[in-house]
Structure 1
């Protein structure tokens, strides 16, 4: 059971490297990881025969000092694999099984990815709600504590017990567990979702801090938070202790679809989406207004503008090295960024940071609900928590609407013209809804929106080249269309749709 450790004396199970390398959240695509322990903390379990250890590990085979969180359960008896709902347990080996080891008593132990183990879900929720504490021991290196957020959602969980849990499929950067609850009388309670952050970094995770601040400020456009797990650890190369969020618990909205699927279905059926798009624009503007109220804003001084534009230029330079097809647009890209730098810039504020249709839920009787405020996962946490331009979020959503049209067109070329017209109408309606709440938002800022759309397409080109090469033509065509449009005619935000020449738009990490 011996495995590399960073002087912590902590053993990791065999086979962990190969298992981690095959997970969707593992950021080091293209190489086999070599994981090194930098610490762990024990999560108390009330289930007999179950031991829970939450490890922080470093991939020493990567040139990046990325720290991953690997919660593991060790069981004296194997965890039954459950089949489709209603079929009951099956005898085959659970896919969450990482290794079988021998315990000190000579008997077998079964090590699992804890997120698939009901004992972990129950223990994690109890740790948060009870304000639990796991002090760092001599060999653990990690000090963790549970934090409850005072919201109606948290208060409504008192007296409930966990009856079932399941991992949400489709995520790529985290692991979310849907936890079903019931009262003492067996009546179902309000479910919650426990998001386990797989990549951890020093500092507050914006999904926790931003969403909690919005909810406590009375926003109806975000799920209600319940609590989080905060931890301190010693990084592999840091002289001082690091600290950050490891998990986030919030209300779960059952029976909902994300806006991507809703919009894609409407576009495929040829249904007008102007009303929902307009409502989404208004919800987006309301969230931006609340963010500017609860977080500090920053003046767009020449130095600040220069820094932001320099970041976009540097991102393009690095992207062109990784995706050579981008290099042929160097002069046009430089022109787009130059026009943006010369434009009028408003104050900077906190934003969503990775905004698209997959980050919005259509909740029956409630309307649009924004989720996942972590920002773009390829950017460092220190960058994702900085004040930014609300137009960056607007650009992301406009690109997402255009991508709906491009997706329909790629499936059925004959339906392409109608699908792209659908996207044009949806984009215009979204802008109209946004302007209805804040009519002065876009005045003189057309070059900024063009630059942010281009910056997003460049980002997606890198993402697709690393993760879904067959999708790479989508952002590449978007880059070509955006630079052509920016060079050929000024975009307008005064009620005229902004439809790129090349319709293919962003392929995000959460869209199909």
Structure 2
């Protein structure tokens, strides 16, 4: 049984700001209320699904919480305790495998419990005998591993309507795309009285247990390259990153090919359209406006503003009708897995700092390509930002190494992408530069707000790209 609402919301107001996935750490919570509470399991332990309405500075947000209730809380769950009374201890039940198995049961049975709807893909058989383990590295969501079979992503902060990750992955699964984990089921909140569509709460997919994420593989390659003996004398100017044993270029090329194949599958699933030149010019104007605003808030970008502006103006001057479609939207090395059968793409939610309408906007496929090229720049310089992780070469020499690694893998990715039928980045240089610089401006703004120690990464890479 739940405690009185006033006691529960008081405990939640204290607990929420300490959670990594809570998006309002930079301001006081004005009000927390329970918008919906659904009992999923009675007894001890009990499981309740809560939809929380949180207001901060007058701005509303919704979050979901699996709330566990136990008379005696075991030590293994102390770290996720929320509060409660001596007779009813409250905690985040996403960390309790005894209770999360309820989700598998409901998904397998296609259950409807209160306003919650549990769906499984037609023909999909879901095992219900698996214990869960939360992935602790995630920030904006919480994912549960069920054995080595499934991964269930719980969307902590709830948007309106169908989540993009479900919408895109479901369409690609139904289309037979081999480069995404197959969707098994999903959880949603039924439409409210305002007539709005169902809200996505969770997504169950196959778990690619043999996969290694692209970021980790790339960082291992960079580390090997940094450890490679330095060239003699003045040979730094012609440094060749292929000399290192942990060369990543072949994988980058295969990743480019997989990306082109997923783009083609997205076009087949959602359609392709053409926007007129006027919309391309408007897009260029938005890019320039973001640059201007970011220069005001991050002075370190200002020295590059003239060169970036020239690229955006060039895009506007050469504007012509442009083919657009659905994309990944937040494409980088952390969103891909290398498995035994090839590369797989994950997390189609779009950039976290963008609005829902911006995330859903159609764009040219090279926008995703630009995102991955920027990720190679990040991987090349990540170790430089961490003291003690690289050899004690001078700063300029390390930057030369980073540039050589990034250039080699960027070229390999673009080569694989074009060979697999994607638009050749080399044949669309103006558009390609504009997308990449737009992404760099976004990165500068994001790092300045969230990870100031990383700010030199996008700024240093710009120095090479604008020459």
Q: 1:457 to 1:18 in 2, by over 3 A?
A: farther
Of residues 455-464 and 275-284 in structure 1, the stretch that sits farther from structure 2 once superposed is 455-464
Q: How does 1:38-437 map to 2 (within 5 A)?
A: 39-45=35-41, 48-81=43-76, 94-101=78-85, 108-135=87-114, 143-150=115-122, 154-155=124-125, 157-158=126-127, 160-162=128-130, 164-180=131-147, 190-232=148-190, 241=196, 243-269=198-224, 270=244, 271-341=246-316, 342-344=318-320, 346-363=322-339, 365-410=340-385, 411-412=389-390, 414=393, 416=398, 417-437=400-420
Alpha-carbon distance, 1:209 to partner: 1.1
Instruction: Tell me, yes or no, if the aligned pair for 1:260 and 1:357 is still in contact at 8 Å.
Output: yes
After TM superposition, give the deviation of residue 349 of structure 1 in Å.
0.4
TM-score, L = length of structure 2: 0.86
Distance 1:76 1:465 in 2: 45
The two structures have a TM-score, normalised by structure 1, of 0.79
Residues 357-384 of structure 1, C-alpha deviation per residue, up to 9 Å, x if partnerless? 1111111x21111111111111122221
1:31 equivalent in structure 2: 27
Does the Cα contact within 8 Å between 1:357 and 1:397 map onto a contact in 2? Answer: yes
Distance 1:457 1:406 in 2: 14
Q: Give the 3 Å change call, closer, same or farther, for CA 233–2 of structure 1 in structure 2.
A: farther
Residue from 13, 16, 20 that aligns with 2:12: 16
2: distance between equivalents of 1:462 and 1:24? 20
Question: Following TM superposition, by how much is the alpha carbon of 1:14 offset from its aligned partner in structure 2, in angstroms?
Answer: 3.3
Q: CA deviation at 1:172?
A: 1.4
Please give the alpha-carbon distance, in whole angstroms, between the structure 2 residues aligned to 1:434 and 1:263: 18
Deviation at 1:177, TM superposition (A): 0.8
Deviation digits for residues 219-267 of structure 1 (CA, Å, limit 9, x no counterpart): 11110111111113659xxx65453201101111224320111111122
2:232 matched to which residue of 1?
Answer: none
- Output one character per residue of 1:201-224: Cα deviation in whole Å (capped at 9) or x when no partner: 112211111111112111111101
Distance 2:41 2:289 in 1: 48
The 3 A distance-change label for structure 1 pair 268 and 127 is: same
In structure 1, distance between residues paired with 2:63 and 2:438: 28
Do the aligned partners of 2:365 and 2:423 also contact (CA within 8 Å) in 1? no
* 1:176, distance to aligned residue in structure 2 (A): 0.5
Cα distance change on mapping 1:32 and 1:206 into 2, 3 Å: same
Say which SS state the counterpart of residue 16 (structure 1) adopts: helix
Shift of 1:280: 0.5
Unaligned runs of 5+ in 1: 5-10, 82-92, 103-107, 136-142, 181-189, 486-512
Q: Deviation digits for residues 113-172 of structure 1, max 9, x if unmatched?
A: 12112133211222222111123xxxxxxx220111136xx32x35x412x221102111
How many aligned residue pairs are there?
436
**Aligned equivalents of 2:179 and 2:251: distance in 1?**
14
Asked if the contact 2:327/2:365 (under 8 Å) is kept, the reply is: yes
Distance across 2 between alignment mates of 1:343 and 1:285: 24
Q: Secondary structure at the match of 1:193?
A: strand
Cα deviation code 1:316-370 (max 9, x no counterpart): 344334434334544433322122232445311010001111111111x211111
Structure 2 vs 1, CA of residues 35 and 242 (structure 1 numbering), >3 Å: closer, same or farther? Answer: farther
1:487-508, CA deviations, whole angstroms, 9 ceiling, x for partnerless residues?
A: xxxxxxxxxxxxxxxxxxxxxx
Matches within 5 A, 1:446-457: 446-457=429-440
Q: Confirm or deny: 8 A CA contact 1:18 1:32 kept in the other structure.
A: no
- Any conservation in 1 of the 2:158–2:199 contact (CA below 8 Å)? yes
Shift in Å, 1:445 = 1.8
Deviation at 1:99, TM superposition (A): 0.8
CA–CA separation in structure 1 for the residues paired with 2:5 and 2:56: 14
Per-residue Cα deviation, 1:377-433 (whole angstroms, up to 9, x for no partner): 111222212211211110111111122221244443637233432221111111110
The whole-number CA distance in structure 1 between the counterparts of 2:107 and 2:119 is 5
* Post-superposition CA distance 1:54-98 (Å, at most 9, x none): 2222332235433222221112231340xxxxxxxxxxx620111
Range that drifts further, 334-343 or 220-229: 334-343
SS at match of 2:48: strand
How far apart in 2 are the matches of 1:12 and 1:303?
53
Q: Deviations over 1:259-292 (max 9, x none)?
A: 1111111222232222111100000000001101
Q: Summarize the alignment of residues 465-476 of structure 1 with structure 2, pairs less than 5 Å apart.
A: 465-476=448-459
Residue in structure 2 matched with residue 493 of structure 1 by the alignment: none
